[in-house]
Amino acid sequence: MVGIPLILLAAFFFPGIILRTKSIVSGRKGPGVLQPMIDIRVLMGKGSVYSTTTGWVFRIAPVIGLATMLAAILVVPFAKMHAVIPFQADFVFFSYMLALGKFFMIIGALDTGSSFEGMGANREALYSMLIEPAFLVLMGTFAMLTGFTSFSDVFTAFHLSENPIITVFGLIGFYLLVQIAMIENSRMPIDDPKTHLELTMVHEVMILDYSGFDKALIHITTAIKFAVYGSLICSSLVPSDWHPGYQILLFFSIQAGFAIIIGLAESFHARNKMQKNAKFILTLTAVAMLAFLVVLIVTNKLII
């Protein structure tokens, strides 16, 4: 229960840290850590402008987006503590809940009848469709390794040990979770949120017509999504015998570290060519299968 406020707190600073990292690395003075939250506050104070083409789907989409994110948090554990409503195979629920939010954002974009937004929605639909197997395979390997099927139990049972093979698995898992988080949030290397041409955007062009309060909802959703993935990464790394105080400390340092990694990646990486994205995402599924192979070795099913 204590987890949800802490995840929300992390979400509060997350986009700011990314922004700050990027401005420091590029040598700009840049805005403060709280700037994204100030932006959201400003947006929340405003009304909205709607296109005459749009109907109720466009208006309900951001609401459902945020609701799916908050409902998905219910199954996310905090460090080694259990989630609010943990159940078996709850990561399937997690993954499908996020997909529901995405479904609505996509049809919300189509509701505007704009070719730009159609393009963005189309790309987002393709990429999120391709990433789904990677996430489920990764969690399947966790399930196979630990013998449990819920987020909370898996992460309670899983800890990095002396066994070098498990360390290898941990590294692959860490890499995958970071990449999946980046793709789910439409960041580098598949999408660049700072690009200025509609034709090269993915997520940004999908939400082009949102303004004011609705846009604030979308920004809040994105920030929480980052923090949730950060929390998952954290749960897979925290040793279980630590004092809760240290666990919370580690939680925030991992969240900050994750944000800094994203900032650095976006500063030094070029975005993929649009046609390469599909292949890149499919490669992640292949990496997830590599993790599966490692677990086969760990569980003595495959003996080398």
- Identity of the residue, 152 or 185, whose beta carbon is nearer to another protein in the bound complex: 152
Instruction: Quote the least distance from Cβ 47 to another protein, whole Å.
Output: 3
Instruction: Quote the least distance from Cβ 246 to another protein, whole Å.
Output: 30
- Identity of the residue, 96 or 252, whose beta carbon is nearer to another protein in the bound complex: 96
152 close to 83: Cβ distance less than 8 angstroms: yes
Instruction: Quote the least distance from Cβ 4 to another protein, whole Å.
Output: 12
Instruction: Quote the least distance from Cβ 38 to another protein, whole Å.
Output: 18
- Residue 200 gets which letter from DSSP? G
CA 88 to CA 16: how far, in whole Å? 35
Instruction: Quote the least distance from Cβ 124 to another protein, whole Å.
Output: 9
- Identity of the residue, 28 or 301, whose beta carbon is nearer to another protein in the bound complex: 301
Instruction: Quote the least distance from Cβ 111 to another protein, whole Å.
Output: 4
Tell the residue number behind the tokens 């789910």, with chain if given: 184
- Identity of the residue, 134 or 188, whose beta carbon is nearer to another protein in the bound complex: 134
CA 254 to CA 178: how far, in whole Å? 12
- Identity of the residue, 117 or 266, whose beta carbon is nearer to another protein in the bound complex: 117
How far is residue 122 CA from its own chain's centroid? 19
The type of residue at 221 is T
- Identity of the residue, 25 or 57, whose beta carbon is nearer to another protein in the bound complex: 57
Q: Where are the beta strands (DSSP E) in 55-188?
A: none
| Among the listed residues 7, 301, 299, the one whose alpha carbon sits nearest the alpha carbon of residue 151 | 7
- Identity of the residue, 29 or 275, whose beta carbon is nearer to another protein in the bound complex: 275
Instruction: Quote the least distance from Cβ 261 to another protein, whole Å.
Output: 26
Q: Is the dihedral angle over the CA atoms 139, 93, 219, 103 positive or is it negative?
A: positive
Is the peptide bond preceding residue 31 cis, with omega within 30 degrees of 0?
A: no
- Identity of the residue, 47 or 164, whose beta carbon is nearer to another protein in the bound complex: 47
Tell the residue number behind the tokens 């700037």, with chain if given: 35
Q: How far apart, in Å, are the Cα atoms of 244 and each of 2, 238, 241, 251? A: 11, 10, 9, 10
Using left for φ > 0, alpha for ψ between -120 and 50, and beta otherwise, residue 232 falls in alpha
| Among the listed residues 223, 288, 292, 283, the one whose alpha carbon sits nearest the alpha carbon of residue 258 | 223
Q: How far apart, in Å, are the Cα atoms of 255 and each of 56, 204, 226? A: 36, 24, 9
Instruction: Quote the least distance from Cβ 61 to another protein, whole Å.
Output: 11
